[in-house]
């Protein structure tokens, strides 16, 4: 599983530039349902995955993984039936998926990286992302809502959001603070 993660990710930080340069397309989802996708997000993922022939994926806990070059990483993984939201949803209460994780295809063609701040980064081939967006067109609005929320928190609480333009560029978006 570590090799699959390395194929798609440089790091497991959802606030950085996590995807490998070879990952063609990327987008942001916000908000997620905690550490899992909402039902509508999952349906879009399921259809996009099916368009590539995938019906199974894996949930990999990544909360404490910072350096993917470390070969001594002990990974905890759960197999996911991408056709069944109910079984996927159970991960949030019957399995300990209460931390940052990655939902990844068996062939490491696409992945979803979850954060503690209720957002997720999705990456994969052009056809995968196009199918996802066709079924879930809210991605542009969700990106805008994400930026607005972080800007509001920066003003209200004083959060450092200097990382935000770099993440936006990684997602092939322009952002001026």
pLDDT tens, per residue, the chain with 177 residues: 999 999 999 999 999 999 999 999 999 999 999 999 999 999 999 999 999 999 999 999 998 887 788 888 889 899 999 999 998 998 887 666 778 999 999 999 999 999 999 999 999 999 999 999 999 999 999 999 999 999 999 999 999 999 999 999 999 998 877
Task: List the chain domain ranges.
Answer: 2-139, 147-177
pLDDT in the model for residue 95:
66
pLDDT in the model for residue 169:
96
Separation CA 94–CA 22 (nearest Å): 35
pLDDT in the model for residue 167:
96
Alpha-carbon Rg of the chain, whole angstroms? 15
Separation CA 88–CA 125 (nearest Å): 23
- Output the pTM of the full model: 0.95
Comparing C-alpha atoms, which of 4, 33, 2, 3 is closest to residue 111? Answer: 4
Residue 77 backbone dihedrals phi, psi, to 5 degrees: -130, 150
CA angle 58, 11, 63 (to 5 degrees): 60
Separation CA 12–CA 41 (nearest Å): 21
């Amino acid at each position: 599983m570590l090799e699959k993660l390395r194929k798609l990710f440089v790091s497991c930080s959802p606030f950085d530039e996590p995807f490998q340069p070879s990952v063609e397309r990327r987008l942001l989802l916000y908000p997620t349902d905690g550490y899992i996708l909402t039902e509508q997000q999952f349906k879009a993922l399921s259809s996009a995955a099916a368009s590539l022939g995938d019906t199974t994926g894996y949930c990999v806990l990544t909360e404490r993984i910072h350096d993917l070059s470390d070969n001594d990483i002990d990974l905890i993984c759960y197999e996911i039936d991408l056709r069944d939201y109910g079984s996927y949803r159970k991960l949030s209460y019957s399995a300990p998926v209460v931390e940052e994780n990655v939902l990844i295809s068996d062939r490491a063609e696409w992945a979803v990286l979850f954060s503690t701040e209720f957002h997720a980064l999705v990456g994969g081939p052009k056809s995968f992302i196009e199918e996802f967006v066709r079924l879930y067109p809210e991605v542009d609005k969700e990106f805008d809502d994400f930026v607005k929320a972080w800007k509001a928190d920066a003003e209200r609480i004083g959060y450092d959001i200097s990382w935000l333009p770099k993440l936006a560029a990684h997602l092939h978006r322009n952002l001026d603070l």
